[in-house]
Amino acid sequence: MKRLTNDEVEEVIVATNASVEGESTALFLKRLVAEAGINVKLSRLARGIPVGVDLEYADQITLTHALEGRREL
């Protein structure tokens, strides 16, 4: 938090596991930054279906994240 207020930070990229703990940590950090009134862009690493994995083995949450992070070809 000190670096966010003292340095010229433009973006914080949260790179946590795609688990309940990782999601909770990301939300906690978002809340901390918002409550401190720090104007910085917060983002997360994209998540989705790994290369070489058959779609039939992808769960609903993974498919949802993959769709949210899609890019135009």
Count of domains for the chain: 1
The ranges of the chain with pLDDT < 50 are none
Q: What is the pLDDT of residue 60?
A: 85
Cα–Cα distance, 1 to 20 (Å, whole number): 23
In this structure, is residue 34 part of a structural domain? Answer: yes
pLDDT in tens, 12-24: 999 988 788 988 9
In this structure, is residue 62 part of a structural domain? Answer: yes
In this structure, is residue 42 part of a structural domain? Answer: yes
In this structure, is residue 14 part of a structural domain? Answer: yes
Range of the domain at 23: 2-68
Sequence-distant (≥ 6) Cβ neighbours of residue 28 within 8 angstroms: none
In this structure, is residue 73 part of a structural domain? Answer: no
